[in-house]
Amino acid sequence: MFALFSDVENAAELRSAVVAGTVGVALVDASLVCSRRHVESATQQALRRSRPGNMVVLKANDTPKTRTLQSEFVYCLAPATSAGEALRTLGISDDTTNVLVARIGSDDNSEEFEGALKMVRGRRVAMERLDERTQAKDRAIAAHFKVGDDELAVSTLEAAVLSRIAVKDCL
């Protein structure tokens, strides 16, 4: 389950709730999310990691890197190979204004998800907004994922981001 918010006014309060562990959702800085496909890819990776014993290419990819499925989702969205770094950069900060609320997993606790949505003071917008491009958003994403102009000359930003998150544990 996913919801996207813009013009969020209480990011500091939301961040405190995540740190305290009182919300069972992932709260992501949506300004660094490239597209819905980026979200789908990270979701699939996090779910795959949560099922031990699945056949995978590398042993490193077989185990979760974080303690919860929600934080594993944030880790899988980020280019960082450190879980802490991924949570610091893609998790919400006190000044985040665009927030992606995510609840993934087989337990599908919709009450917890709905409770988290009620906490957010902002304007709920369609998930399709993640696919909208602006120069400022593209520059921020390219810088965060270390995508250079040479790479963008032969590929799209989305393809570069998806490639990085797909292979980060192979390096």
Q: CATH number for the domain including 155?
A: 3.30.2380.10
When divided into structural domains, the chain yields a total of 1
Residue 80 confidence (pLDDT): 85
As averages over each run of 10 residues, the pLDDT of the chain (171 residues) reads 95 91 90 96 87 53 74 91 88 94 78 90 96 92 95 95 86 62
C-alpha of 138 from chain center:
16
Q: Which residues, at least 6 apart from 34, have a Cβ–Cβ distance to it below 8 Å?
A: 130, 141, 157, 158, 161, 162
Domain that holds residue 51: 2-170
Q: Residues in the chain, how many? A: 171
Q: Which residues pair with 102 in a beta bridge?
A: 2, 26
Give the Cα separation of 20 and 5 in Å (integer).
22
